[in-house]
Amino acid sequence: MSGLLDANKAGNQRVVEMEVKSARKVVRVVRGQAEQGERRVVEEYPLRLRVNGRELATLVCSSHQLNFLLAGFFRLQGFIDSLDDILSMGVCREYGLADLRIRAELPDRLQPTLTSGCGTGITYNLPRKFLNFHRLTSRSYRSEELFRLMKELHDLAEQYRSHGGIHSAAIGDADGLILYAEDIGRHNTLDRLAGEALFRQIELQDKMLVTSGRVSTEMVAKAARLGIGLIASRTSPTDEAIELCEQAGITLVGYLRGSSMEIYSHEEQLKLPSCH
Protein backbone atom coordinates (compact mmCIF):
# COMPACT_ATOMS: atom_id res chain seq x y z
CA MET A 1 0.00 0.00 0.00
CA SER A 2 3.06 2.30 -0.11
CA GLY A 3 1.91 3.76 -3.43
CA LEU A 4 -1.28 4.99 -1.77
CA LEU A 5 0.67 6.71 0.99
CA ASP A 6 2.95 8.36 -1.58
CA ALA A 7 -0.15 9.66 -3.34
CA ASN A 8 -0.95 11.66 -0.22
CA LYS A 9 2.25 13.69 -0.63
CA ALA A 10 1.43 14.34 -4.27
CA GLY A 11 -2.04 15.47 -3.21
CA ASN A 12 -0.58 18.10 -0.89
CA GLN A 13 1.62 19.43 -3.70
CA ARG A 14 -1.42 19.56 -5.97
CA VAL A 15 -3.21 21.98 -3.63
CA VAL A 16 -0.52 24.63 -4.16
CA GLU A 17 -0.46 24.05 -7.93
CA MET A 18 -4.24 24.29 -8.11
CA GLU A 19 -4.25 27.69 -6.40
CA VAL A 20 -1.72 29.12 -8.86
CA LYS A 21 -3.60 27.87 -11.93
CA SER A 22 -7.09 28.84 -10.79
CA ALA A 23 -6.69 32.64 -10.91
CA ARG A 24 -8.89 34.15 -13.65
CA LYS A 25 -9.15 37.66 -15.01
CA VAL A 26 -12.44 39.38 -14.25
CA VAL A 27 -14.07 42.74 -14.78
CA ARG A 28 -15.14 43.89 -11.34
CA VAL A 29 -18.00 46.38 -11.17
CA VAL A 30 -18.43 48.38 -7.98
CA ARG A 31 -20.96 51.22 -7.74
CA GLY A 32 -21.17 51.34 -11.52
CA GLN A 33 -17.40 51.59 -12.00
CA ALA A 34 -15.58 48.79 -13.90
CA GLU A 35 -12.00 47.75 -13.23
CA GLN A 36 -9.75 44.85 -14.21
CA GLY A 37 -8.94 42.29 -11.55
CA GLU A 38 -8.36 38.64 -10.73
CA ARG A 39 -10.41 36.09 -8.84
CA ARG A 40 -9.44 32.60 -7.81
CA VAL A 41 -12.09 30.11 -8.91
CA VAL A 42 -12.88 26.53 -7.99
CA GLU A 43 -11.22 23.80 -10.02
CA GLU A 44 -13.59 21.12 -11.32
CA TYR A 45 -11.79 17.81 -11.86
CA PRO A 46 -13.63 14.90 -13.56
CA LEU A 47 -12.11 11.58 -12.42
CA ARG A 48 -13.07 8.38 -14.24
CA LEU A 49 -13.11 5.24 -12.11
CA ARG A 50 -12.00 1.93 -13.58
CA VAL A 51 -12.39 -0.94 -11.12
CA ASN A 52 -11.20 -4.49 -11.81
CA GLY A 53 -10.97 -3.55 -15.48
CA ARG A 54 -14.51 -2.20 -15.57
CA GLU A 55 -15.61 1.41 -16.13
CA LEU A 56 -17.64 2.28 -13.06
CA ALA A 57 -18.37 6.01 -12.85
CA THR A 58 -16.98 9.52 -13.16
CA LEU A 59 -16.54 11.57 -10.00
CA VAL A 60 -16.54 15.35 -10.26
CA CYS A 61 -14.28 16.51 -7.47
CA SER A 62 -11.36 18.61 -6.33
CA SER A 63 -8.04 17.11 -7.37
CA HIS A 64 -6.05 17.08 -4.12
CA GLN A 65 -5.43 13.98 -1.96
CA LEU A 66 -7.27 11.63 -4.29
CA ASN A 67 -6.16 8.59 -2.27
CA PHE A 68 -8.41 9.70 0.61
CA LEU A 69 -11.31 10.41 -1.74
CA LEU A 70 -11.07 7.06 -3.55
CA ALA A 71 -10.63 4.95 -0.42
CA GLY A 72 -13.56 6.71 1.25
CA PHE A 73 -15.78 6.46 -1.82
CA PHE A 74 -15.32 2.70 -2.09
CA ARG A 75 -15.64 2.27 1.67
CA LEU A 76 -18.96 4.10 1.77
CA GLN A 77 -20.25 2.28 -1.29
CA GLY A 78 -19.68 -0.96 0.64
CA PHE A 79 -17.04 -2.28 -1.77
CA ILE A 80 -14.20 -2.29 0.80
CA ASP A 81 -13.89 -2.41 4.59
CA SER A 82 -10.16 -1.76 4.97
CA LEU A 83 -7.11 -0.74 2.93
CA ASP A 84 -6.24 -4.44 2.62
CA ASP A 85 -9.25 -4.76 0.32
CA ILE A 86 -7.53 -2.46 -2.21
CA LEU A 87 -5.02 -4.55 -4.16
CA SER A 88 -3.71 -1.66 -6.27
CA MET A 89 -4.54 1.96 -7.01
CA GLY A 90 -3.11 4.17 -9.72
CA VAL A 91 -4.14 7.66 -10.81
CA CYS A 92 -3.27 9.28 -14.15
CA ARG A 93 -3.80 12.96 -13.44
CA GLU A 94 -3.29 14.06 -17.04
CA TYR A 95 -6.19 11.92 -18.30
CA GLY A 96 -8.27 12.03 -15.11
CA LEU A 97 -8.34 8.26 -14.65
CA ALA A 98 -8.19 6.19 -11.48
CA ASP A 99 -7.48 2.50 -12.06
CA LEU A 100 -8.11 0.22 -9.07
CA ARG A 101 -8.15 -3.46 -8.33
CA ILE A 102 -10.11 -4.46 -5.26
CA ARG A 103 -10.47 -7.80 -3.54
CA ALA A 104 -14.24 -8.00 -3.92
CA GLU A 105 -15.99 -8.83 -7.17
CA LEU A 106 -18.34 -6.14 -8.45
CA PRO A 107 -21.96 -7.22 -8.97
CA ASP A 108 -22.88 -7.98 -12.58
CA ARG A 109 -25.57 -5.31 -12.52
CA LEU A 110 -24.99 -2.02 -10.76
CA GLN A 111 -27.71 0.61 -10.73
CA PRO A 112 -26.17 4.02 -10.06
CA THR A 113 -28.30 6.63 -8.34
CA LEU A 114 -27.40 10.26 -9.06
CA THR A 115 -27.36 12.20 -5.81
CA SER A 116 -28.05 15.86 -5.12
CA GLY A 117 -24.42 16.74 -4.42
CA CYS A 118 -22.63 19.58 -6.20
CA GLY A 119 -21.06 18.16 -9.33
CA THR A 120 -23.59 15.30 -9.10
CA GLY A 121 -22.62 12.55 -6.67
CA ILE A 122 -23.13 8.85 -7.28
CA THR A 123 -24.27 6.03 -5.05
CA TYR A 124 -24.95 2.41 -5.95
CA ASN A 125 -27.35 1.71 -3.10
CA LEU A 126 -30.63 3.29 -2.16
CA PRO A 127 -30.26 5.15 1.14
CA ARG A 128 -32.32 2.76 3.29
CA LYS A 129 -30.50 -0.29 1.95
CA PHE A 130 -27.26 1.61 2.41
CA LEU A 131 -27.82 2.13 6.11
CA ASN A 132 -25.82 0.00 8.52
CA PHE A 133 -27.19 0.54 12.01
CA HIS A 134 -24.14 0.22 14.24
CA ARG A 135 -26.17 0.75 17.40
CA LEU A 136 -29.50 2.04 18.58
CA THR A 137 -28.49 2.73 22.18
CA SER A 138 -28.43 6.31 23.39
CA ARG A 139 -25.45 8.58 22.88
CA SER A 140 -24.66 11.77 24.78
CA TYR A 141 -23.24 15.04 23.46
CA ARG A 142 -22.91 18.54 24.91
CA SER A 143 -23.99 21.62 22.99
CA GLU A 144 -20.85 23.57 23.89
CA GLU A 145 -18.73 20.81 22.34
CA LEU A 146 -20.78 20.99 19.16
CA PHE A 147 -20.54 24.78 18.91
CA ARG A 148 -16.78 24.56 19.45
CA LEU A 149 -16.40 21.94 16.71
CA MET A 150 -18.37 24.02 14.20
CA LYS A 151 -16.21 27.05 15.04
CA GLU A 152 -13.08 24.96 14.41
CA LEU A 153 -14.49 23.94 11.03
CA HIS A 154 -15.26 27.56 10.15
CA ASP A 155 -11.81 28.78 11.23
CA LEU A 156 -10.04 26.09 9.20
CA ALA A 157 -12.13 26.81 6.13
CA GLU A 158 -11.31 30.52 6.35
CA GLN A 159 -7.61 29.79 6.86
CA TYR A 160 -7.17 27.52 3.83
CA ARG A 161 -9.75 28.90 1.40
CA SER A 162 -8.65 31.57 -1.08
CA HIS A 163 -11.89 31.48 -3.10
CA GLY A 164 -15.56 30.60 -2.59
CA GLY A 165 -17.49 27.60 -3.81
CA ILE A 166 -15.79 24.95 -1.69
CA HIS A 167 -17.64 22.73 0.78
CA SER A 168 -15.96 21.71 4.02
CA ALA A 169 -16.65 19.08 6.68
CA ALA A 170 -15.03 17.82 9.84
CA ILE A 171 -15.33 14.97 12.31
CA GLY A 172 -14.62 15.43 15.99
CA ASP A 173 -15.52 14.56 19.56
CA ALA A 174 -15.56 16.18 22.99
CA ASP A 175 -11.83 16.90 22.69
CA GLY A 176 -12.15 18.77 19.41
CA LEU A 177 -11.61 18.34 15.68
CA ILE A 178 -10.04 15.09 14.46
CA LEU A 179 -10.40 15.15 10.65
CA TYR A 180 -11.01 17.95 8.16
CA ALA A 181 -11.76 17.86 4.41
CA GLU A 182 -12.87 20.18 1.64
CA ASP A 183 -14.08 19.60 -1.92
CA ILE A 184 -16.35 21.15 -4.55
CA GLY A 185 -18.88 18.39 -3.74
CA ARG A 186 -20.35 18.15 -0.26
CA HIS A 187 -20.71 14.35 -0.53
CA ASN A 188 -17.05 14.14 -1.53
CA THR A 189 -16.01 15.76 1.74
CA LEU A 190 -17.48 12.86 3.70
CA ASP A 191 -15.81 10.33 1.36
CA ARG A 192 -12.51 12.07 2.02
CA LEU A 193 -13.02 11.92 5.78
CA ALA A 194 -13.91 8.22 5.62
CA GLY A 195 -10.83 7.51 3.50
CA GLU A 196 -8.42 9.44 5.69
CA ALA A 197 -9.81 7.64 8.74
CA LEU A 198 -8.88 4.34 7.06
CA PHE A 199 -5.33 5.53 6.40
CA ARG A 200 -4.89 6.86 9.92
CA GLN A 201 -6.79 3.98 11.55
CA ILE A 202 -9.21 6.32 13.33
CA GLU A 203 -12.42 4.84 14.74
CA LEU A 204 -15.43 7.02 13.89
CA GLN A 205 -18.07 5.30 16.02
CA ASP A 206 -20.24 7.86 17.89
CA LYS A 207 -18.22 10.84 16.61
CA MET A 208 -19.78 14.15 15.52
CA LEU A 209 -19.89 15.31 11.89
CA VAL A 210 -20.16 19.02 11.06
CA THR A 211 -20.57 20.26 7.51
CA SER A 212 -20.99 23.52 5.63
CA GLY A 213 -23.50 22.01 3.20
CA ARG A 214 -27.09 20.80 3.23
CA VAL A 215 -27.70 17.43 4.88
CA SER A 216 -29.40 14.97 2.49
CA THR A 217 -30.31 11.29 2.71
CA GLU A 218 -27.04 10.33 1.02
CA MET A 219 -25.06 12.19 3.69
CA VAL A 220 -27.03 10.53 6.47
CA ALA A 221 -26.62 7.07 4.92
CA LYS A 222 -22.86 7.52 4.66
CA ALA A 223 -22.61 8.89 8.20
CA ALA A 224 -24.69 6.00 9.57
CA ARG A 225 -22.40 3.51 7.88
CA LEU A 226 -19.46 5.10 9.73
CA GLY A 227 -21.27 4.99 13.07
CA ILE A 228 -21.56 8.78 13.34
CA GLY A 229 -23.98 9.74 16.12
CA LEU A 230 -24.53 13.44 15.46
CA ILE A 231 -24.67 15.45 12.22
CA ALA A 232 -24.74 19.25 12.23
CA SER A 233 -24.87 21.78 9.41
CA ARG A 234 -24.87 25.53 9.04
CA THR A 235 -27.88 25.16 6.76
CA SER A 236 -31.01 23.00 6.49
CA PRO A 237 -31.56 19.23 6.19
CA THR A 238 -34.01 17.65 3.76
CA ASP A 239 -37.23 16.04 4.98
CA GLU A 240 -36.00 12.54 4.07
CA ALA A 241 -32.73 13.18 5.91
CA ILE A 242 -34.66 13.94 9.07
CA GLU A 243 -36.66 10.73 8.76
CA LEU A 244 -33.51 8.69 8.14
CA CYS A 245 -31.78 10.18 11.20
CA GLU A 246 -34.80 9.26 13.32
CA GLN A 247 -34.50 5.66 12.16
CA ALA A 248 -30.73 5.51 12.60
CA GLY A 249 -30.64 7.05 16.08
CA ILE A 250 -28.65 10.06 14.85
CA THR A 251 -29.05 13.53 16.33
CA LEU A 252 -29.55 15.96 13.44
CA VAL A 253 -28.85 19.68 13.89
CA GLY A 254 -29.40 22.43 11.33
CA TYR A 255 -28.74 26.17 11.16
CA LEU A 256 -25.87 25.85 13.63
CA ARG A 257 -24.58 29.40 13.65
CA GLY A 258 -23.01 31.39 16.43
CA SER A 259 -24.84 30.28 19.57
CA SER A 260 -28.09 29.14 17.94
CA MET A 261 -29.26 25.92 16.28
CA GLU A 262 -32.30 23.85 15.40
CA ILE A 263 -32.51 20.18 16.46
CA TYR A 264 -34.51 17.94 14.11
CA SER A 265 -34.07 14.46 15.59
CA HIS A 266 -33.06 12.73 18.83
CA GLU A 267 -32.73 15.93 20.83
CA GLU A 268 -32.49 13.82 23.99
CA GLN A 269 -28.90 12.94 23.05
CA LEU A 270 -27.75 16.58 23.01
CA LYS A 271 -27.37 18.21 26.44
CA LEU A 272 -28.17 21.92 26.49
CA PRO A 273 -26.94 24.46 29.07
CA SER A 274 -29.13 24.63 32.15
CA CYS A 275 -31.45 27.63 32.25
CA HIS A 276 -31.65 29.52 35.52
Number of independent structural domains in the chain: 1
Quick check: is 174 in a domain?
Answer: yes
Quick check: is 160 in a domain?
Answer: yes
pLDDT tens digit at each of 276 positions of the chain: 334 444 443 334 333 333 334 688 999 999 999 999 998 888 889 999 999 999 988 989 999 999 999 999 999 988 999 999 999 999 998 899 999 999 998 877 665 554 545 544 555 554 455 454 555 567 899 999 999 999 999 999 876 665 567 899 999 999 999 999 999 988 999 999 999 999 999 999 999 999 998 999 889 999 999 999 999 999 999 999 999 999 999 999 999 998 899 999 999 999 998 754
CB 49 within 8 Å of CB 104: no
Quick check: is 51 in a domain?
Answer: no
Task: Say how many residues make up the chain.
Answer: 276
Parallel, antiparallel, or unpaired for β 230-233 and 176-183? Answer: unpaired
Quick check: is 262 in a domain?
Answer: yes
C-alpha to C-alpha distance for 153 and 124, rounded to whole angstroms: 29
CA within 13 Å, CB half, 24: 9
CB 82 within 8 Å of CB 32: no
Quick check: is 102 in a domain?
Answer: no
Quick check: is 9 in a domain?
Answer: no
Write down the pLDDT at residue 199: 97
Structural domain for 175, as ranges: 141-271
C-alpha gyration radius of the chain: 19
Quick check: is 11 in a domain?
Answer: no
Cβ-Cβ contacts under 8 Å for 77 (sequence gap 6 or more) = 123, 124, 125
Other CB atoms within 10 A of residue 219 CB:
31
Write down the pLDDT at residue 10: 38
CB burial of residue 84 (10 Å; 0-12, 13-18, 19+) = exposed
208: domain CATH number is: 3.40.140.10
Report, as residue numbers or ranges, the catalytic residues. Answer: 118
Quick check: is 255 in a domain?
Answer: yes
